[in-house]
Chain A
């Protein structure tokens, strides 16, 4: 069990979880993830590692409250103990590529940080873009800005930065003549799909961090199988990083939706329990 050092609300429905895990902090690499279990009866939830402090011995994660399990996780406070396993997954290949474009949405706004920091460290010019529906949903900006050569925000309603998405930022940069050698995208599946398509349209290789369903997350169950370049791969051990242009997105969407009806059932059940407790 690992102790929670902090649980912060960083945006509506988005939380930062900081966990005391010195051995994990010492080992974590960009692109890797963790499995978090909210309680005794809880699911094993895969979540990207968003940062680590090797001196303090802590690891941080950003997550969106999107169902019963993440709702339960968000109820925890500093001092609580949870099951936590990391680091998992194959680390990203960090090299000097030239100019690297890093895009984040949703939890990826926070979790993209290790990639861009390492890319910067490796001598790349780093362009960062983050997206949200509106300005109040963005977070983590100063940290990202600090390690980026250029920094952009995109909002669907145009309330801050440019109106649109990460893909639109990428498109306008290319149209302005910016040479981009590689793109990295982290966020919800739809965001990664449309962003990597936009990169492909401009002939730029893109890499995405897939977030399919997982159970053990060590290559044992195979629920995370994704088709990449026509072959079945296990995202938990072969990934989570894959070339965006080679992913079978339609299959991934189908597979991710498998338990949607069950999710509703879990929600009804849990909310009823909570209601009873309040009475």
Chain B
């Protein structure tokens, strides 16, 4: 909970009534039949007029449930006021006080369960205020404008901070640490910075140009970015602290170890982890092959296994790569899918064949070691399990097969041990995630961690929230030098 209260003027009764009767403005988007033929962004954004009109739907609730619903507590009603006034640059400035990557979160946050979920307008029946769309609008406005929305940077503190991982969490931590006047170095294992924003989320949902812009902004704030550095191999965390002179280290390394189901045939050719499929396509731009050198199998019949955002990204990529049949195999029902509503809707519009309440049991190969069929079993829903969702139970004797030439396993990721294994004193859970306290301090003095390597698979915005929390904790540690006894 936040203590935030919106201090703006109370709306006159007639204006409030007018606003409550105004419908949410839909996002302009590429039509489904056109967009499955390209990798361009699906959503086309609000016009300035649409943005102003949408911002004028805000009821200005003093309790601002939207702010409470946002993991980084963007001051939503204040930025909406600025949008309504047509002062888009000011709106961008307000958002960026709390959110280092608004062009990203405006596109990939699950707004329906965050800022927009508790919106009073949602309850009134005309749809929540399009906060995510407006966030995206102001961020894009800033990016395309002549001016750059700048942050104030404190006097140099004399401290050095290392950020390991350049995903959304690392970039947020880097931004805040730079603003606090620290010398900040970001280490990235891959050859391009951005983490999941670059290797994972496809161009049609988050154009790479946005990440480059945000990286440039960080660099202009004095942040150094070192690509091709796999920490744990090139330097250990101890070496960062002892030899490289860092006063604090933030580990935002993600959970980069793909899970497989350990069923027969998973090593057949044509069976990908979602990480591989998306990395080939996004980071390595395999969709442009042979203009680029990294290939990807352009399957005719593609099955993607899973029900999260990654599964949606994979199955929609498969369509764009030319699949005639793109199946989404998910063991639960639609209501239990962890993917964002908009991604599910877009996938449906684009013709993804949803095979819900089904689970693969094995993959069948041809004589050349290629996958040719997936055998599935039908499921039914039972009592709730640990996640609170009804447990899927296989229906005996309900097996059937689908012809496939590509399978993408998108059932989640676990902790990649590359760094933790080489860091003595860093306590991990039984599943390999790093243990932290409420200030994201690990059991190793000076070392902080957040995002997926702490939470398991989570979201971009939760990682960003962790990055901010860690940056604040780092400031505290640099000032006090206090570290709790490890317990």
A interface residues with partner B (beta carbon < 8 Å): 2, 23-24, 27, 35, 37-38, 41-44, 68-69, 72, 83-88, 215-216, 218-223, 225, 227, 232, 237, 250-251, 254-255, 257-259, 262-263, 265-266, 268-270
Q: Which residues of B contact A23 (CB under 8 A)?
A: 234-235
Q: Once bound together, how far apart are the Cα atoms of A169 and B133, in whole Å?
A: 70
User: For the complex, would chain B's binding face be called helix, strand, loop or mixed by DSSP majority?
Assistant: loop
Q: Once bound together, how far apart are the Cα atoms of A234 and B279, in whole Å?
A: 17
Shortest C-beta distance, A269 to chain B (Å), equals 4
Q: A88-B233, A227-B267 are in contact. Are A232 and B189 (CB under 8 A)?
A: no
B276: contacting residue among A2, A223, A263, A266, CB under 8 A:
A223
Counting CB contacts under 8 A, is B294 at the interface? yes
Q: Once bound together, how far apart are the Cα atoms of A259 and B280, in whole Å?
A: 13
B269: contacting residue among A69, A255, A268, CB under 8 A:
A255
Q: Once bound together, how far apart are the Cα atoms of A198 and B288, in whole Å?
A: 44
A221 touches B228 (CB 8 A): no
User: For the complex, would chain A's binding face be called helix, strand, loop or mixed by DSSP majority?
Assistant: mixed
In this complex, the member of B234, B235, B291, B369 whose beta carbon has the largest number of chain A beta carbons within 10 angstroms is B234
Interface string of B222-243 (1 = CB under 8 A from A): 0000011110011100000000
Q: Which residues of B contact A84 (CB under 8 A)?
A: 228
Counting CB contacts under 8 A, is B285 at the interface? yes
Residue ID in chain A nearest B413 by CB atoms: A220
Shortest C-beta distance, B50 to chain A (Å), equals 37
Name B382-409 residues within 8 Å CB distance of A: none
Q: Once bound together, how far apart are the Cα atoms of A258 and B276, in whole Å?
A: 14
A41 touches B275 (CB 8 A): no
Q: Once bound together, how far apart are the Cα atoms of A270 and B268, in whole Å?
A: 29
Contacts A27-B235, A69-B293 supplied; 18 other A-B pairs, CB < 8 Å:
A42-B293, A68-B293, A86-B233, A87-B233, A88-B233, A215-B276, A215-B279, A215-B284, A216-B275, A216-B279, A218-B189, A219-B257, A219-B418, A221-B258, A225-B267, A262-B290, A262-B295, A269-B291
Counting CB contacts under 8 A, is B128 at the interface? no
Residue ID in chain A nearest B257 by CB atoms: A219
Counting CB contacts under 8 A, is B18 at the interface? no
Shortest C-beta distance, A24 to chain B (Å), equals 7
B256 touches A220 (CB 8 A): yes
Q: Once bound together, how far apart are the Cα atoms of A270 and B280, in whole Å?
A: 19
B228: contacting residue among A83, A251, A265, CB under 8 A:
A83
In this complex, the member of A38, A43, A87, A250 whose beta carbon has the largest number of chain B beta carbons within 10 angstroms is A43
B416 touches A220 (CB 8 A): yes
A218: contacting residue among B227, B288, B418, CB under 8 A:
B418
Counting CB contacts under 8 A, is B368 at the interface? yes
B275 touches A251 (CB 8 A): no
Q: Which residues of B contact A250 (CB under 8 A)?
A: 369
Name B98-122 residues within 8 Å CB distance of A: none
Shortest C-beta distance, B255 to chain A (Å), equals 10
A44 touches B284 (CB 8 A): yes
A83 touches B227 (CB 8 A): yes
Residue ID in chain B nearest A251 by CB atoms: B267
Counting CB contacts under 8 A, is B477 at the interface? no
Residue ID in chain B nearest A225 by CB atoms: B267
B293 touches A41 (CB 8 A): yes
A258 touches B297 (CB 8 A): yes
Q: Once bound together, how far apart are the Cα atoms of A236 and B123, in whole Å?
A: 51
Residue ID in chain A nearest B229 by CB atoms: A85
* CB-defined A-B contacts under 8 Å, sample of 19: A23-B235, A27-B235, A37-B191, A41-B285, A42-B292, A43-B293, A43-B294, A44-B284, A83-B228, A215-B276, A216-B279, A221-B275, A222-B258, A225-B267, A232-B262, A232-B267, A254-B268, A259-B295, A266-B289
